[in-house]
Amino acid sequence: MKSMQETSVFDLIHDRDGLVWQVIVSKRLAPARKRADKIVWHVEMHAQSTVKGAHLVSTGTLDHDKDARLLMLLGPESVTLRAGTISFEAAEEKQIPGSAAEGVLGLKKTLLSKGVTDLKRRSVAQVVDRLCAFG
């Protein structure tokens, strides 16, 4: 069976610093994890945002002096931050929006929390790791 994946923007979330995150949902038909004879929708969702280092400094996520090397590695280009991967299965396609809406509530809670700064710093570190590993 050929598996085709569909990806779309499901929602937008503004974090406590005003950064806009897109909630991306990807879905594909595939065998159920627990019953290979049953075909279900496999759904993955996450939040992502595109940001420049200057914005991360202006919101206090990064410090201009303490994080100078990190900012140099990021450069003037925008980078894509990613947070909160959630996955679930749905027996029918019409069940996906309801389950995804529940996932959005969890993502909103995370992005509106005080810990969002740490989450963004970790995401920036992952971006830099990828940049350094693959150029």
Domain boundaries, the chain: 5-134
For the chain, list residues with pLDDT below 50.
1
pLDDT tens-digit map of 55-75: 999 999 999 999 999 899 888
The per-residue pLDDT for 114 is: 87
The per-residue pLDDT for 54 is: 93
The per-residue pLDDT for 39 is: 94
3-state secondary structure of 59: coil
The per-residue pLDDT for 131 is: 79
The per-residue pLDDT for 71 is: 92
**Sheet with strand 5-14: strands edge to edge:** 5-14, 20-31, 39-51, 79-90
Backbone phi, then psi, for 131, in 5-degree steps? -60, -45
